[in-house]
Amino acid sequence: MGVGTDEIGTAVLLPGTGSDDVFVRSVFAGPLAAVGIRAVTPAPVPGPDLAEHHLAALDATDGPVLVGGVSFGAHLAAEWAVANPGRCAGLLLALPAWHGPPGDAPASVAALLSAAAVRDTGVDATLASAAADVPSWLAAELGRSWRGYGDGLADSLTVAAYRPAPDLDALAALTAPAGIAVFTDDPIHPEPAGRAWAKALPRAVVCPTRLAVLGVDPESLGRATVLAWLRAGGRSGRDGPDTA
């Protein structure tokens, strides 16, 4: 039996690669408030220990807690849940990008290329180059979050690029309800990656959305993830369907 929503007061959400607490809060705070849950979004601590600081923030929570995040943040939340299954009340997993070692996963390759560019030409030049290839809203997000990482940006991107996510066997041991949101139009976070997580997790539902929608409605990603979690049994603790 899982932990019902009325027993969960807090969800801790972690940002993706090069992203920040501002963005992950804009995605999740509203949808979680709608089901009576407060979103806690720790700020990244840039540098080579980025992942350890995020995991420590999860360790600092009390009682059963709903954990999750976006992309790399979702990976870390699942990693923490694997190590702390008794403390995990559920998983909110937006855009998981790979399982196990990253290999040549698009999100990993993109992060490594960005890290190299930052080291070679600096943040401003890298942002200017990136802005030519991404929507204006994403360029604005990167401009804020990357500058917030300061001198620790390149190391932080590299940490995220190389860190293994939980493998499918590890995910299969997690019995808490899991909501997974995938994009149907984003090559950096390919839909099959998220669906592989859902197939491995015993109680997971997938809710698709689109990157194109995120630019005009940041909460669309959070709503998809929270809805998937509720459909997986997050509200009642009852078993839900495996996938959708």
pLDDT digits (tens, 9 = 90+) for 136-168: 999 999 999 999 999 999 999 999 999 999 999
Could you tell me if residue 239 is inside a domain?
A: no
Q: Which of 205, 217, 208 is nearest to 184 (CA)?
A: 208
Please state, in angstroms and rounded to a whole number, the distance separating the CA atoms of residues 76 and 79.
Answer: 5
Q: Which runs of E-coded beta strand occur in 3-87?
A: 10-14, 38-40, 65-70
Residue 68 shares a structural domain with residue 10? yes
Judge whether 153 lies within some domain.
yes
Same domain for 113 and 221: no
Establish if 132 belongs to a structural domain.
yes
Phi first, then psi: give them for residue 156, nearest 5 degrees.
-65, -40
With bands split at pLDDT 50, 70 and 90, how would you rate the model's confidence at 237?
Answer: very low
153 and 174 in a single domain? The answer is no
In a domain, residue 103? The reply is: no
CA 205 to chain CA centroid, nearest Å: 16
Evaluate if residue 243 carries a pLDDT over 90.
no
Determine the pLDDT at residue 236: 62
Which residues span the domain enclosing 126? 108-160
For residues 190 and 197, what is the distance between their CA atoms, to the nearest angstrom?
Answer: 12
Determine, yes or no, domain membership for 77.
Answer: yes
Shared domain for 197 and 170, answered yes or no, is: yes
Q: Can you state the angle between helices 123-131 and 136-149, rounded to 10 degrees?
A: 170
- Over residues 93-134, the pLDDT tens digits come to 999 999 999 999 999 999 999 999 999 999 999 999 988 888
Answer yes or no: do 74 and 117 share one domain. Answer: no
37 in the same domain as 144: no
Domain tally for the chain?
Answer: 2
Question: Do 12 and 80 touch, CB atoms closer than 8 A?
Answer: no
Q: What is the pLDDT of residue 163?
A: 98
- Residue 4's pLDDT is 43
What CATH number is attached to the domain comprising 55? 3.40.50.1820
For the stretch 47-73, pLDDT in tens is 999 999 999 999 999 878 999 999 999
- 92 within domain boundaries: yes
pLDDT(38) > 60: yes
3-state secondary structure of 236: coil
CB 160 within 8 A of CB 36: no
